[in-house]
Amino acid sequence: MAALGGDGLRLLSVSRPERQPESAALGGPGPGLCCWVSVFSCLSLACSYVGSLYVWKSELPRDHPAVIKRRFTSVLVVSSLSPLCVLLWRELTGIQPGTSLLTLMGFRLEGIFPAALLPLLLTMILFLGPLMQLSMDCSCDLADGLKVVLAPRSWARCLTDMRWLRNQVIAPLTEELVFRACMLPMLAPCTGLGPAVFTCPLFFGVAHFHHIFEQLRFRQSSVGSIFLSAGHLIGPVLCHSFCNYMGFPAVCAALEHPQRWPLLAGYALGVGLFLLLLQPLTDPKLYGSLPLCVLLERAGDSEAPLCS
């Protein structure tokens, strides 16, 4: 190589073409335009989801069964059509994911059991303090509680309760589909996988600000308590449903509880164990191959930290 001299080295460097992003190779728009298309697509999805809740004009509060039933229809329609936005994004950017749309959105059997169990376990560890508080304040023992939970009548009552269906089934399914399954593939080629994971909750959180105006309108709560309860961490549907069930941790009630010191120790232990187990329990190797990594590789980002 030294015998080639400077001109020879320059010739070798020229003869090696740099790898271009998939969109450029396909004649699609440049990276800047791709990012604008991605952000606009995510904003459109968020606005469509929230806007669908208000196509029905009503003076009733959001927890009224009639309002919940109408909103079920709206969000189910928007959620069913949301994959079309990903298809349109793919056509506009020219990025070919290299896998099926459903697989890219997280509908796959590979790694389904650890994906269902480990994130839920991690979330329950984070809520160790509130779970202890719930068990201390419950008048029934463990055996009676399990009988109630496993009783068919209890589930039948839940399935006829519109608020339960909204909080535990419809909201987790539709919100995770729109704000995670559809948005994450569109944002990842633009921002990278890590930033996209933290950007999706921003769309999710902003989309929930309409609850603030609704609760203030019907004077259901104060401004301070509303801001504390609006929004959840994005995660799998089971974690979302669990968080909806638990609500925001009642720290003030724990401070005034007769057994506050064990409770506070449970709160601290839960947060500590959550931080300790967060990385090992979210290791991508536990959940099989990541379709998003295939997407990033085809988009020109083959060195994504979470994919290496």
Burial of 164 (0-12, 13-18, 19+ CB in 10 A): middle
Active-site option among 175, 176, 211, 232: 175
Active-site option among 64, 208, 210, 257: 208
257 counts as catalytic = no
Sign of CA dihedral 22, 25, 27, 31: positive
The residue behind tokens 């449903």 is 241
108 C-beta neighbours (distance < 10 Å), count: 17
Q: What Å distances lie between residue 233 and 17, 135, 165, 180, CA to CA?
A: 43, 24, 20, 11
CA 48, 52, 54 angle in degrees (round to 5)? 125
Sign of CA dihedral 76, 82, 84, 87: negative
110 counts as catalytic = no
Sign of CA dihedral 281, 283, 288, 291: positive
**Active site members:** 175, 208
